[in-house]
Structures are given as C-alpha cells and as structure tokens.
Amino acid sequence: MAPEAGASLLAAWATGGALSFVVEAGALPRPRAPWRRPVHALAVHLSVWTAAYATLLALLARPWFAAALALAALLVVVLVGRAKFDALREPFVCQDFEYFTDALRHPRLYLPFLGWWRLLGALLACAGAFWAGLVLEPPHFDGGASARASAVLGCFAVGVGALCAARAASARLDTSWVAQRDVRAWGLVASLWRYGSQARQLPALAPPFAGLPLHLPARAEALPDLVTVQSESFFDARESYACLRADLLPRYDALRAQALAHGRLAVPAWGANTIRTEFAFLTGLEEAALGVHRYQPYQRLAASGVATIASRLREAGYRTVCVHPYHGTFYGRDRLMPLLGFDQFIDGAAFAGAAREGAYVGDVALASFVTGLLRAERDRPLYVHVITMENHGPLHWERVTAQDRDDVAGVPLPEGCDELVAYARHLRHADSMLGMLADALAAQPRDSGLCFFGDHVPIMPAAYRLLGEPPGHTHYLAWSPRRPGGGDARDLRASALARDFLARMGMC
C-alpha cells in the first residue's frame, strides 16, 4: 500500500471519528461534551468507531466511503432514538435494534411515530453515503491479490483489537441501568456498547412465585376461576383531564365501588413497551432485579423459564390460557408464553372473523371470546390472562367525528385534541369489555375473580402539548362477584399486583 494511501486511511478514520461525536450530539437526551466524559467512555466510543470503520474498510476498500457509511448508520440510530425519546421519554437502548426488523413486519406499530421526515432523512443519508462512496472514491487497496488479502486481514485484525479494547474499557464504567442517566454521562455509543455487552448475561433472580405457598381448598372444584386483563394503554384519563365526561366509564366505576381493591398502578413503561408491565405482573419481579434486561425482558429472561403466577397456578391444578388477538410471533409470545407457565397461547389467528375497532380486534369481540372460554364445560379451574390490543396507537391516524367528541367530552375541546377523543372512544369499549367479563363471572357457578389493569399511558403528543402530560401511572381494580369488597383504595406497583390479587382472593 502506498504511503499516500495509508495517510488517506488515517485521515478518514480521524475525520470520521471526530464527526461521530458531532452526529452523536443530536441524540436525546443530549450527551455531555466529549471532554466532560469519563476517559473509559471515550475509549469505548473511539474503539467502537475504529471497529466499525475497520470492518467497513475491509469490505469496501474505500476509507472515506467506510467512514461515511458508518456515520450514516450512526445518524439513523440518532434519528430513531430522537423519535423514541419524543414519544416514550426514553433514549435508544441496545435492545431497540430488534425493533428494526419488527418495523418491517409490523410497520403500523412503529413508522407513524418515527415520522416521514425522519425516515426520509435516514434514507437520504444512507443513499448519499452509498452514492458518494461508489462514485467519487476509487478502491485504495492496490497491488496483487496477496497484497489486497493482507490489507483486508489487517483491517479485520484492527477491528477485532478495537472490539477487545471496547470490552475492556466498558467494564470500567459505573453502570446505573437508567438509560437517560447513562446516555447523558457516557454518550450514546458507549452506552449502547455497555448495555449490549451485558445483555448476554442473565442476573441471579429470586422469582416471588417460585414455590409460593397457596391456600388451596380440599376440593379442586372449589378453586375460583381467575381472569386478569392487561388493557392496552388503559388509565382513568378523567383523573388528568377534567374535560372528559364523568360517566365515561360506568362499568369501571360500578366495579371499583365494589372492588376488593383498586388504585393507581406504577408501571415500568411510558407509551409503549407493554412487555415490561406484562413481565412485571406475571413474574412479580422488580425492575431493579433485572439489570439491563428491564428494557426487554422477553429477549433472554423469559426464555429461561422464570416462575410466574401462571406456572404457580398450573402447579395448583389450573388450566392456564393466555389470549392476545394479535400476531403470536410479536415479541415471541407464541414461543415464550408456554415457558412462562401457560398451557395454551391463543393469538390473532383465532380472531380471523372478529369485529375490529380501527386496525385491531375490538375489546368487545375479545370479551366475547373469553366469556366463551369461561362457559365451556371443563373439569379444572381456569386462569385466563388477556392482553388487549384495541387501544394501541397510532391514535393520530384515527378519524373522529363531532359525535365522538360529544360522546366522550363534557365540554368543547380545543383544536388538536383528536388523539384524546379517539383514545377515550376506545376507553368506552374497554369499559364494555370489563362489564361483559364481570357479568360472565357472576353467572358462573364456580367462585371467580377479576383483575383489570393498564400497561402504560398512551402516546398522545398533541393532546399532551395542549392539556399537559399525565403522571404516568395507570389504574387497576380487583373484583369478585361472591366476595364482599368496599372499594379498598391502595396504590401498587405492577410487580406486586398479581400476588396482591391472589391474596385478595384468599389464595395466599
């Protein structure tokens, strides 16, 4: 390789490395300036940059093309991360790379929140890097085949060495596992590397449902049927928005007055990431115990077969069923729910002809299906965990009418609140679902109990700008038709709700 070619390699590496800090500065929350970061965080950033540059250089033999392509990839991550932060108040974390493929399979769940301008910017950045690299820069590895092979092997060797350096430096970082704090302190690149390197390790866990003593009657037929409903984006929005009608949720209000318990529910998610609340409810595990896996517990932890309320009830003689009227492969639920203690997982394939509300199976149709399970003849008590889908966004894609506004709002709403109207319209359907399930349980000859809760608040940026953001908690209630309840108000964490429900049912 000629000396001038070697100088070009170093110049592209140094220029690209400097620009990587400039691109990263666009992340949210904004990272500290490089000179204010710990030296080990800088070492991770530069090592990861070197590895990416060296690998692309080995493949492309064009140093400036390699640097531009690596910067374009970082820009895509920054743009996606900004969209995530705007919607979910959380920076991009390593587990989010999985959602790039999910966005291709389920574009409605992701692309509306990224925004067409961000998507266009990301595509133009990648296209520009490809064009500039292929058209403007010739290959820099000259000489014979053996010389070119040596250059390629040398690049790969540099990349491997840089990855080893990144691993060693990241081990010296003091990890909080609070992504906002770590991104701000270390920078986006260093935090992604640190979180990704730790995601392969499973923490030592003590699942509360492992061997949990249960108070079981002598006769199996005396065991109560149990239904838990994880209602998509449910919270009592009247608590935050007085403009909504007081009678928006009549069945919820009636059941809450008779509830064994009800109150606010602290959940580990805002706007999305349903599986965080789902995992917390099913396993009883707190976020702090999960480490980096708090951001996506289904990637590795669930596959290890953590004890859950479902597995414990199955041990006690229950038939355990999970119902989710969406694609079973989403989050790998079709594969993971049996590992979490469910005898059967029923997904959207069972709802081919069901009525839809917008893009998803409606809550009323879902309630009809679950009541059918409850009424079917069987010789075992039944535990059904229901994961609804109707109120999943994007809410800003939904159309609302003047009649919809009158139905959900007690006063005229300002312009720009259509998201809230669409959301409240779905709340009415969730309320109908709740009433249908309560009626079905009350009609059962067997004792029964119902636990209903929201997984997170919805994404409604326009409404939030006009009316303010809610605190972020959701709401729950536990109810039984044959057990007296006085509407005991008690705030809980999502991780405590399942065990509290069993206790209210006299089972632990």
**pLDDT for residue 413 is more than 70:** yes
Cβ atoms within 10 Å, residue 504: 21
**pLDDT for residue 10 is more than 70:** yes
Distance CA 117, CA 109 (A): 17
Q: Beta strand 360-361 with 474-479: parallel, antiparallel or unpaired?
A: unpaired
Look over the chain and give the mean of its residue pLDDT values, rounded to a whole number: 91
- Helical packing angle, 39-60 and 179-186, nearest 10°: 80
Q: Scan for tokens 């037929």, then name that residue.
A: 221
Question: What integer pLDDT is reported at residue 466 of this predicted model?
Answer: 96
Tell me the pLDDT tens digit for each residue of 181-225.
999 999 999 999 999 999 888 998 999 999 899 988 877 778 999
- Residue 386 per-residue DSSP state: E
In this structure, are residues 417 and 401 in contact, taking their beta carbons and an 8 Å threshold?
Answer: no
Classify 40 as helix, strand or coil: helix
**Percentage of the chain lying above the pLDDT 90 cut:** 74
Lowest mean pLDDT among 99-103, 230-234, 331-335: 99-103
Q: How far is CA 78 from CA 148, 186, 249, in A?
A: 34, 15, 40
- Complete domains list, the chain, with CATH: 3-199 (no CATH), 226-505 (3.40.720.10)
Question: What integer pLDDT is reported at residue 148 of this predicted model?
Answer: 74
Question: What integer pLDDT is reported at residue 327 of this predicted model?
Answer: 93
**pLDDT for residue 121 is more than 90:** no
Distance CA 177, CA 203 (A): 13
Distance CA 51, CA 7 (A): 18
* pLDDT average, residue stretch 147-173: 90
Full DSSP string of 192-206: HHHHHHHTTSPPP--
Question: What integer pLDDT is reported at residue 434 of this predicted model?
Answer: 98
* pLDDT average, residue stretch 351-373: 95
* pLDDT average, residue stretch 304-319: 95
Question: What integer pLDDT is reported at residue 210 of this predicted model?
Answer: 94
In this structure, are residues 354 and 199 in contact, taking their beta carbons and an 8 Å threshold?
Answer: no
Question: What integer pLDDT is reported at residue 111 of this predicted model?
Answer: 64
Distance CA 8, CA 14 (A): 10
Distance CA 220, CA 243 (A): 49
Question: What integer pLDDT is reported at residue 502 of this predicted model?
Answer: 97
**pLDDT for residue 149 is more than 90:** no
Distance CA 228, CA 432 (A): 16
Distance CA 402, CA 421 (A): 10
Question: What integer pLDDT is reported at residue 76 of this predicted model?
Answer: 86
Classify 476 as helix, strand or coil: strand
Question: What integer pLDDT is reported at residue 7 of this predicted model?
Answer: 81
* pLDDT average, residue stretch 26-30: 96
CA proximity to 447, closest of 221, 253, 293, 233: 221
Classify 259 as helix, strand or coil: coil
Q: Which two tokens stand for residue 390?
A: 């109707």
**Percentage of the chain lying above the pLDDT 70 cut:** 93
Question: What integer pLDDT is reported at residue 122 of this predicted model?
Answer: 65
Cβ atoms within 10 Å, residue 465: 10
Full DSSP string of 56-122: HHHHH--HHHHHHHHHHHHHHHHHHHHHHHHHHS----GGGGHHHHHHHHSGGGTHHHH-HHHHHHH
Cβ atoms within 10 Å, residue 468: 9
Classify 477 as helix, strand or coil: strand
In this structure, are residues 178 and 293 in contact, taking their beta carbons and an 8 Å threshold?
Answer: no
CB-count burial class (<10 Å; 0-12, 13-18, 19+) for 209: buried
| Reported confidence tier of residue 110, pLDDT bands at 50, 70, 90 | low
Distance CA 364, CA 113 (A): 27
CA 55 vs. chain centroid, Å, equals 31
Question: What integer pLDDT is reported at residue 258 of this predicted model?
Answer: 94
CA proximity to 343, closest of 380, 291, 288: 380
Classify 420 as helix, strand or coil: helix
Tell me the pLDDT tens digit for each residue of 363-412.
999 999 999 999 998 889 999 999 999 999 899 889 999 999 999 998 99
Question: Residue 169 phi/psi, 5° resolution?
Answer: -70, -40
Distance CA 231, CA 368 (A): 15
